[in-house]
Each structure stands twice: as C-alpha cells, then as structure tokens.
Amino acid sequence: MTKRELPALSIVEVQDMLRRREVSPVEVLESLEERINTVDDKIGAYLTRDLTAAVTEAKKTDVALPLGGIPIALKDLINVEGQQCTCGSKILGGYRAPYTANAIEKLRAHGAIPFGRMNMDEFAMGSSTENSSAQLTHNPWDLSRVPGGSSGGSAAAVAADIAFGALGTDTGGSIRQPAALSGVVGFKPSYGRVSRFGLVAFASSLDQIGPLTKTVHDSALLMNAIAGHDSRDSTSLDAPVPDYAKNLGRDLKDIRIRLPKEYMIDGVDSAVKTAVTAAVKQLESLGAEIVEVSLPHTEYAVSVYYILATAEASANLARFDGVRYGHRADNITNLFDHYARTREEGFGAEVKRRIILGTYVLSSGYYDAYYLRAQKVRELIRRDFAHAFEKVDALASPTAPTPAFKLGEKTADPLQMYLADIFTIAANLAGICGISLPCGFADSESGKKLPIGLQLLGKALDEARIFQIAHAYEQSTDWHKARPKTIAEGMKRAGKAGEL
C-alpha cells in the first residue's frame, strides 16, 4: 500500500499499521493532508486545520495507546484551547477557545490527535449544513446534494476519506441523519454518557457528543475514549463504561428487535422502505427475533422538540452579545443599539427564527400552553420507549425518510427541513442511545447512488448491545465498503470493494 492510499483505511486498519511500525503518525497526517488538498475543494467539509500543530502532537504520541496516532476531526462547536470555535456563525468571528472540552482531553489521553474543524449548520440548527455562515458542504455521493446536518462537515469528510473519524453532536438527529445521507456510521450516546463540558450549547437537555466513522468497530473505539463521568458537567452520569468493542462479533441469538409501525409511514421514500425492510430481514436471518411495536406518541415528537429545543436555545444563545468576545457591530450609538445590531449582523436567519420561537414559548401567558405542555408530552414519549424496552433489546427504523435532497431544495420551507429529522428526534427527547449505519442505496434521477441509513435505538446506557447488533449487521453486508464515485479519483479502499 502507498501512503497516498492511507486515508481510505478505517481507524482499526491504520492502528494495525502504526503498531507494526509500517507507517508513522506524522506520515499518516501528511497523507491525510495531501488527500484533503486534493478533494476538499469539491466537498467543503473543513473550516480550518493546523498541520504544524498536529504534527507536533503526532511526534509525541504513543502508538501503543488505544487511538495512538489517529487524527480525529472535530465539529466546530467543540472547544480546543487556542483554536477558533465559530459554531458556523459570524457572531463568534475571531473567538478562540480559552479551554479544552472534556471529550478532547479524553481523546488525547487515548493517543488521538485532534485535526481540523468541520463545517456545520450555525449553532447546530439545521438538517443540511446549508445554514453555515462560512460555506456550503456538498455530499460526496452527489455534489449537487446536501450531506445532512447539522454535523454535515464531519459526515462528508468521513465519507470522502478526508477524515478517519470525526466528532459531531446530536441534539435531534444531527449525527445520525448526516451519517445516513452521507453513507457512514453515526452514533448518538445516551444523554449524560459523554460530558458536555466544552461543548457550545444549543439545547442543554438534548445535546450529546458522538462519533462519525467508517465502521461500527471504529465508532466503538471512539466511544471507549470519550465516554465517562465528568464532575464539570452536572448532567454527566457516574456510571461504569464497558469496553464497547469487546462484544463485537457476538451473534444475535436471543436478541429481540422491534420495528415501530409509526416509523414506516406514508411519505417515506419507497427505496428507503425497501432497504430498511431488507435490513430487518437480514437481522432476522442472523438470529434476531423481529416483532412489531407501537410508540403511540411519536406523532408529537417534532412539535415537542421544536418547542423545547428552541426554548433552551433562546436562553443559551443570550450569552452571544458582542460584549466579551466575538463579533461586535461598528459605530454603535448606545447599549441597545449595540445588542440589537450585533445580534442582527451576527446570527443567521434560522438561528433568529429559533430564538424568536423559543422566546415566545417561554413568555408570560404562553409558558403553560406551550413549554409546560411540551415537557409533559416529552415524558409520555420517554415512557413509550421505556415500555418497549421492557420487551425488546432494540428498535429498528429508517434514519431519515428520504435519501439526500438537493442543495436549496428545502431552504424556503422550514417545516419540510424540520421533518428530515422526524425519525431521530424522539431518541433525544427520551435520552436513549442510537446508531445509523449504511443499509442500501437509492438511485437518483441522474443515475447516482444515494446512501440509505438503518437506525437502531437502544435503552439508556445500553450502547454495548447496540454496537453488537450494528456490527453483526454491518459485517454480514457490503454496504459500508462502497465509496462515492464523485471523490474516488481512482483510489480504492485497500482490500475492500471499489467505487460505485
């Protein structure tokens, strides 16, 4: 294998080469940088990266560590001391983080090298990465389409082999949905499993940091690194963290999986229905018992989410006012003018929409009618999942109702954009874990292949079982081996299937 082919490998494969001394951490970084320079002008995944700083870390890393020498990309709302952290917004222009997030501290302790900050929807508010103030990110499978969002830069980079793995965040599906649309593996941990210290908050009762990777095994390795209690985050759970990679390879005998009938509704793309139905049959052939279940309050999930998430965003984003850091309007005349013009100039349209909506539902006279009622329905949604998991080990569904849609197709209709997360939102409301992994392709009208994602949901803190099920399915199929023609440029994954 040539160094030029290194970026096509998984984390596990690069680990093996590093430990056999067939390649050095610096050579891994340099090969990745070369690949980024060749490909990212088409994708637009990276906002910034510092090869010099990363090489300095690489020279000191111990390849015997679990992730020793592996570069990991970061969604641009996770703080790393000294690095910019814009959250895809003009209002944080010029801001550099004064401290480092817990998840990054843990990555470094496991030998990983944070490398590159990835494009995203502004403050993680969006499902297409079109809301970034910096640039558009394109889907590697079809450059005319979105990669999903809000972690679209992270997902597109992994799909395009310009990142071995990346961290994203999932507030209502922002890891799983772009993973599905970009054809990679995206994992949402249970709420509280990964510390939010150092994460710029969108909705504090929903946000979770998680990995986007090429394989389930890679995802489990990253979760091994970042999971665990952190006293600096009051919502962090003080619970034992198992070795998530330990049970990979076990069969699915005695595993019970249910397909919620509310997740195969009218409006789901026919190719998505076909692929997910086939995936469920494949799980059954591997030994799992498949039964149908009802989650009766699913229909309210989108409405509940867009009340609670916007209410929390309204409070969290009040801190961005241009007084202490970030963008500040010029030629201000008084304090009110400063606040009004700074926030008007600094925030994009979608962020303003959600701040206004969140402020409205928290306002006097509407709090009980909207916010309080939404909290009560959220509890009903949580109970639906709790009752289901008394009888089964996992729930299976489509990750997204359609394959990747075209750039600009839904920007004029916020409701249609919000519905892109219809199957992922409920898991955040309930605080449970979930994964999206490739399960097929749809044919676009131009003849290009568009990835389809299978979602597996598990009860809170049952990540190990979800990894077990996902890995068994992945290893019994070839969907994860395919590479996008758009960015393949003659490269083929070493020892794997070639481009579609």
In 3-state terms, what secondary structure has residue 78?
A: strand
Whether residue 336 is contained in a domain is answered as no
pLDDT in tens, 165-176: 999 999 999 999
What residues are labeled active site? 75, 150, 174
Domain CATH number, residue 274:
3.90.1300.10
* Mean pLDDT on 323-336: 94
* pLDDT band at residue 419 under the 50/70/90 scheme: very high
pLDDT in tens, 232-288: 999 999 999 999 999 899 999 999 999 898 998 888 999 999 999 999 999 999 999
Whether residue 201 is contained in a domain is answered as yes
* pLDDT band at residue 486 under the 50/70/90 scheme: low
d(CA 176, CA 186): 5
Whether residue 232 is contained in a domain is answered as yes
* pLDDT band at residue 499 under the 50/70/90 scheme: very low
Whether residue 234 is contained in a domain is answered as yes
Q: Which of 168, 182, 271, 280 has the alpha carbon at shortest distance from 226?
A: 168
Q: How many domains does the chain have?
A: 1
Q: Whole domain around residue 429: which residue ranges?
A: 3-300+375-488
pLDDT (0 to 100) of residue 487: 65
Strand order in 165-169's β-sheet? 46-48, 113-118, 71-75, 165-169, 209-213, 185-188, 433-443, 449-458, 394-398, 256-260, 289-293
pLDDT (0 to 100) of residue 104: 98
pLDDT in tens, 45-54: 999 999 999 9
Whether residue 210 is contained in a domain is answered as yes
pLDDT (0 to 100) of residue 65: 98
pLDDT (0 to 100) of residue 292: 85
pLDDT (0 to 100) of residue 498: 39
Whether residue 353 is contained in a domain is answered as no
Q: Which two tokens stand for residue 354?
A: 């959600």
pLDDT (0 to 100) of residue 2: 75
Whether residue 112 is contained in a domain is answered as yes
Whether residue 493 is contained in a domain is answered as no
* pLDDT band at residue 3 under the 50/70/90 scheme: confident
CA distance to 147, 360, 488, per residue, from 140 (Å): 8, 39, 9
pTM of the shown model: 0.96
pLDDT (0 to 100) of residue 177: 98
